[in-house]
Amino acid sequence: MKDRYGREIDYLRISITDRCNLRCIYCMPEEGICQISHGEILTYDEIQRVCRCMTTLGIKKIKLTGGEPLTRKNSAALVRMLKELPGIEKVTLTTNGVLLGEQISELAEAGIDNINISLDTLNEEAFGKITRREGLPKVLESMKEALKYPQIGLKINCVPVIDDPQNLVEVARIARDHPIHVRFIEMMPIGYGKEFRFRGEDEICSILESAYGKMTPVIEHYGNGPCHYYEIEGFQGKIGFISAMTHKFCSQCNRVRMTAEGYLKACLQYQTGISLKALMRNGCTDEELTEAIRRVIWEKPGEHHFTSQAIDEDELKLMSQIGG
């Protein structure tokens, strides 16, 4: 399936819950959000149905997100259901890592291909300030548990929200000491992210090269999305960057998103899309569902406009409600 700009869309990000056990300062307010009821989110059978229809349009890779996806019961069962679909090549997961250690064996048995752990600092006090919760020891223990399953690709996602450059150096060290790729993600001006300054890729590269030496770009691709990587001599893992602001990659975008409520979005920044939940619960056929998905993909916007003025179609929801 290609959109009207000729981009091949083969990657679906699915939020399976808006609930989270952390309260990250750039994601949601301290008191949390008004959560949708369990009956308003898609069932696992409904998610599988959407994905089955999407495989006929060329979707091959699925990422499960939240909120925090591991707060939803039996998430490994959904992984298994999606892995069973013909045409699905990879099912991956993004998590804050707090519950991962308890569930990693079930996820591995279900066939999860890759896991991304969101981790912005290795300092326990700073972790508490960013997440407004305790939990860093559990995240680090989860990382160690996940390393016991070499068939699962493991990555760290770091949003450079702490001003101290040494914090970036310490997080990057994970890639030196372990076979884990560490990716730095530029802050997106969505929801509470608008209140924070983002560090650009060039600035971070300069900081890391001062600490570790030359960073050499690599050609290999290590995931479903737009991340590009560098290698550093002596490192077991790579250093990656997802730089939507300073290195805009819209022309190569290959993804669409579905919220926990079943709303299919073609672009993170725009409100436009369609409620697949409404269609399914009103009795649509698979053919009608597939055609609705096809229309959203075809009409996918050409690019985001985060660096220009706001427009009426801007997304007003928080990242936790959309799916990180």
Helix, strand, coil share (%) of the chain residues, nearest 5: 35, 20, 45
Calculate mean pLDDT across residues 130-135: 96
pLDDT digits (tens, 9 = 90+) for 232-246: 999 999 999 987 666
Say if residues 130 and 120 touch (Cβ distance below 8 Å): yes
CB atoms within 10 A of CB 67: 27
How many angstroms separate the CA atoms of 214 and 219, rounded?
A: 16
pLDDT digits (tens, 9 = 90+) for 79-130: 999 999 999 999 999 999 999 999 999 999 999 999 999 999 999 999 999 9
CB atoms within 10 A of CB 26: 20
pTM of the model: 0.90
Say if residues 56 and 32 touch (Cβ distance below 8 Å): no
Flag whether pLDDT at 226 surpasses 80: no
Instruction: Please report the pLDDT score of residue 198 as a whole number.
Output: 66
Calculate mean pLDDT across residues 7-33: 90
Q: Provide the CATH topology of domain 11-322.
A: TIM Barrel (3.20.20)
Instruction: Please report the pLDDT score of residue 311 as a whole number.
Output: 47
pLDDT digits (tens, 9 = 90+) for 154-185: 999 999 999 899 999 999 999 999 999 999 99
Q: Which helix H or strand E contains 277, and what residues bound it? A: helix 276-281
Flag whether pLDDT at 14 surpasses 80: yes
Flag whether pLDDT at 45 surpasses 90: yes
Mean pLDDT in the chain? 90
CB atoms within 10 A of CB 213: 12
Calculate mean pLDDT across residues 23-37: 83
The token duo for 215 is 């960073």
Strand order in the sheet with 273-275: 215-217, 228-232, 239-242, 181-185, 153-158, 114-118, 90-95, 61-65, 11-15, 255-258, 263-265, 273-275
